Chains A and B, each alone.
Chain A
């Protein structure tokens, strides 16, 4: 199983490896600067892990679990 945002540890840095989505959602993610090679940080999630908050650059972005699972990440050496 590929590692996605929902497998991340809080406040650690990761790199986006692949977006497992096409169409509108992909465009949306890209418009927020989430694309291959982007550095992201998992900040927090709501109770029951329904919604996740991640940091991309200086922006904080909230996304649902379904969407978070479509963003494959890899560990970042900067940690």
Chain B
């Protein structure tokens, strides 16, 4: 088996990830705004006798190290180990896409080009002569469509061919004024018989384009003494020829001229009507309307949360019913009290409480995936930048922030699109204010328990929006204090609107939901058992006997119930968890919370889903599990005062994200000290607002 390692490169929104999906039939996440692929992702598959692995590099407009993701890409291309470059271009916008292609040609590696979105190009009457383009560029060009899968087989065939054949000479040429200087430098290198892995032409171009690596390499070499004056003269000549422009401008112009030459030869566009608006323009006229844009956006978000609640609640009833039935029937078959309690209360109760929220999570993930893949997300960034900028944030901060509604982990990672360190840190600090999907169960539970069913959707929306607003205000506070300084410029592409592919949305949602379920099965199951243990042990048999005796002596049912509740309360209080809770209770007393709520919040530091299962274990303990209608929701509304519930929700909205997210935050922010800052910051803010919320709710 031969191994082929491919570096997949392309500008943002050319369908790179989707193409990988089409080739390898995998489940990478694909999105329609700059910066979906923040980390290099690798997929492997077999084709004929080859083990092919594709490294999906972050989309980049140019190899210029502008943002972190562009840096990741250009570093990998220059220093990484791979066999060939697969450059993906959008057939409908080659003019722009070839700019990166010519930079890639300039790298002088084995390469081939996939012209993606052939189907769309056909619809727009764009005809491309791929064979002639192959001839002109000196690298293989294949027309493909990730959507219809046409050309994929041919692409694979070409990959192997490019791999097996020797590297072709790059046909990238510059204007005569530059070519002349390239020849001068090559001559000098030849005269001195300079030793290098790079071709002389490549060295010459690198020197003229002010490539730092090449300068460093030559600096230590004796040839530098004689080369330097020649080089200086060359650069001077070139600049003189180009009105003293910066070298980067000159090369951009050179590449553009080269590309225009190629395009004139190979692309024909038939009967285009410039006066007719494209579909994207028509949609934009409504969605980014100066007055209607923001209301439409808010309405869409509100609709999403309504859906999450309304549609989500239907299967939730079934799931709830299923787990109480399961708990019952399993409970009956276990005779040992301790084991039954472990399985029914600890395991089934805890995990069931988490699985209950799968429908909500699926709807939320579908919504976010739709926003991403249609291209609407970039419009929102455009609409909100003016507003965000006032608070010291960047329109692009919106992308990590909205991702934060799904899960904080990808949100922290997508903050890399912000180039300015301070902008990025600031965004990282407030991502937590965007309530992640894992917190949704807690909200749904509390909103369901303390508010009327008709208002639940609106309340849920209010929780999310007020969390976000608070985050934005905190951003301003931080910007004025900890993160003073210049803001990053806002220049971003508004990609074409595209119909989302159901397959991709399905893959995205499936993998995210699966991750959630996996967590429920492993981490949360373990945490549930631990909490069950802590709340059941040590056994106080004396207390139990004492009460059981009393219960036997009581005749009426009401008295029996009261006593048994009292017993459960006492048993809990003397358990390990009770002791921990009592220890931290004083800190939570001003917020009107008892130790059970305090403990539930603490367990949320591990993972937010655990909060629900903790509450499930804490409030169902000792209660009659046979009572079908006594769901956790009802127990909460019976046992927790309204004002305390408000304080609880507020803390959930603000305090430290889960352990995994905190670790990612630490990595992205660039140091453990930021994690401490984040902990202090969120804890203080959460406490203050929970206190205010509690006091206000008491007065209501």
Is B382 an interface position by the 8 A CB rule?
yes
Contact, CB under 8 Å: B290 / A46: yes
**A31 interface neighbour in B62, B280, B378, Cβ under 8 Å:** B62
Please tell me if A15 contacts chain B, counting CB pairs below 8 Å: no
Q: Which residue of B lies closest to A21 (CB)?
A: B489
CB pair A61 B383 closer than 8 Å: no
User: How far is A35 from B246 in the complex, measured between Cα atoms in Å?
Assistant: 11
Give the number of chain B interface residues (Cβ < 8 Å): 38
Q: How far is the CB of A28 from chain B (nearest CB, A)?
A: 5
Tell whether, in the assembled complex, residue B288 and residue A53 are in contact, meaning their CB atoms are under 8 Å apart. Answer: yes
Q: Are B385 and A58 in contact (CB under 8 A)?
A: no
Shortest A62–chain B CB gap in Å is 4
Q: Please, how many angstroms separate the alpha-carbon atoms of A75 and B130 in the complex?
A: 36
Task: Name the residue on B nearest A33 (C-beta).
Answer: B96
Chain B, range 427-470, C-beta contacts under 8 Å to A: none
Q: Does A76 contact B (CB under 8 A)?
A: no
Establish whether residues A51 and B66, one from each chain, have CB atoms under 8 Å apart when the complex forms: no
Is B61 interfacial (CB-CB < 8 Å)?
A: yes
- Judge whether B419 is part of the interface by a CB distance below 8 angstroms: yes
Q: What are the residues of chain B within 8 A of A22 when measuring CB–CB? A: 246
B296 to chain A, nearest CB (A): 13
Q: Are A58 and B381 in contact, CB atoms less than 8 angstroms apart?
A: no
Q: Within the assembled complex, what's the spacing in Å between the Cα atoms of A33 and B146?
A: 26
B535 to chain A, nearest CB (A): 53
B490 & A63 in contact (Cβ 8 Å cutoff): yes
Report how far A63 CA is from B288 CA in the complex, Å: 14
Shortest Cβ distance from residue A78 to the other chain B in the assembled complex, whole angstroms: 11
- Measured between alpha carbons, how far is A7 from B246 in the docked complex, in Å? 26
Residues of chain B contacted by A17 (CB below 8 angstroms): none
Residues of the B chain whose Cβ atoms lie less than 8 Å from the Cβ of A8: none
CB neighbours (8 Å) of A30 from chain B are 62, 248-249, 252
| Other-chain residue from B61, B248, B249, B291 in contact with A32 (beta carbon distance below 8 A) | B61
* Contact status B93-A58, CB under 8 Å: yes
Q: How far is the CA of A36 from the CA of B280 in the complex (A)?
A: 27
Q: How far is the CB of B376 from chain A (nearest CB, A)?
A: 13
Q: Does B1 contact A (CB under 8 A)?
A: no
In the complex, A44→B288 CA distance in Å?
9
- Minimum CB–CB distance from B125 to chain A (whole Å) comes to 14
Q: Are B490 and A67 in contact (CB under 8 A)?
A: yes
Q: Which of B276-305 contact A (CB under 8 A)?
A: 280, 284, 288, 290-291, 293
- B386 and A28 form a contact (CB under 8 A): no
Please tell me if the beta carbons of B95 and A25 are within 8 angstroms of each other in the complex.
no
CB distance from A29 to the nearest CB of B (A): 7
Q: What's the Cα separation between A53 and B494 when bound, in Å? A: 9
- Please name the residue on chain A nearest to B378 by beta carbon: A62
- Name the CB-closest residue of B to A47: B290
Q: Which residues of A contact B284 (CB under 8 A)?
A: 44, 60
Known: A31-B61, A48-B386, A58-B92. A67 touches B491 (CB 8 A): yes
Number of residue pairs across A and B with beta carbons under 8 Å? 114
> Taking the complex as formed, is A1 at the interface, i.e. its CB lies under 8 A from any CB of chain B?
no
**Complex: A29 Cα to B249 Cα, angstroms:** 10
| Chain A contact patch, size range | 20 to 34
Residue contact A62 to B489, C-beta cutoff 8 Å: no
* B62 in contact with A64 (CB, 8 Å): no
Shortest A56–chain B CB gap in Å is 8
Residue from A45, A50, A62 in contact with B491 in the complex, judged by beta carbons closer than 8 Å: A62
Q: Do B389 and A59 touch (CB < 8 A)?
A: no
Cβ-closest chain A residue relative to B11: A31
Chain B residues with Cβ below 8 Å from A48 are: 386
CA distance A63 to B395 in the complex (A): 10
B288:A32 contact, CB within 8 angstroms = no
- Does any Cβ of B come within 8 Å of A66's Cβ? yes
The CA of A62 and the CA of B388, in the complex, are separated in Å by: 15
> Are B288 and A50 in touch, CB under 8 angstroms?
no
Q: Write out the residue numbers on chain A whose beta carbons fall within 8 Å of the beta carbon of B280.
A: 60
Contacts of B246 in A (CB 8 A): 22, 26
Q: Whole-angstrom distance from the CB of A9 to the nearest CB of chain B?
A: 16
Contact partner of A58 (CB less than 8 A), chosen from B64, B95, B419, is B95
Judge whether A46 and B383 touch: CB under 8 Å. yes
State A29–B383 Cα separation when bound (angstroms): 20
Any A CB within 8 A of the CB of B234: no
Say yes or no: is B540 at the interface (Cβ < 8 Å to chain A).
no
Query: Which residues of chain A are within 8 angstroms of B566 by Cβ–Cβ distance?
Result: none
Nearest B-chain residue to A24, judged by Cβ: B66
> Is the beta-carbon distance between B249 and A36 smaller than 8 angstroms?
yes
Q: Are A60 and B493 in contact (CB under 8 A)?
A: yes
Q: What's the nearest-Cβ distance from chain A to residue B232, in Å?
A: 21
Q: Are A62 and B389 in contact (CB under 8 A)?
A: no
* B385 with A59: CB separation less than 8 A: no
A24 and B489: CB pair below 8 A?
yes
- A29 contact set on B, CB distance < 8 A: 491
Q: How far is the CB of B404 from chain A (nearest CB, A)?
A: 22
- Residue of B248, B249, B252, B386 near A51 (CB, 8 A) is B386
Q: List 20 A-B contacts (CB under 8 A).
A: A26-B248, A26-B249, A27-B66, A29-B491, A30-B249, A31-B61, A31-B99, A50-B387, A51-B386, A53-B494, A57-B93, A58-B93, A59-B93, A61-B491, A61-B492, A61-B494, A62-B490, A64-B385, A64-B490, A67-B490
Residue numbers of B with Cβ under 8 A of A are 61-62, 64, 66, 92-93, 95-96, 99, 245-246, 248-249, 252-253, 256, 280, 284, 288, 290-291, 293, 378, 381-383, 385-387, 389, 395, 419, 489-494
- Give 9 closest A-B pairs by Cβ, nearest first: A50-B386, A31-B62, A31-B61, A64-B490, A60-B494, A62-B382, A63-B491, A58-B93, A47-B290
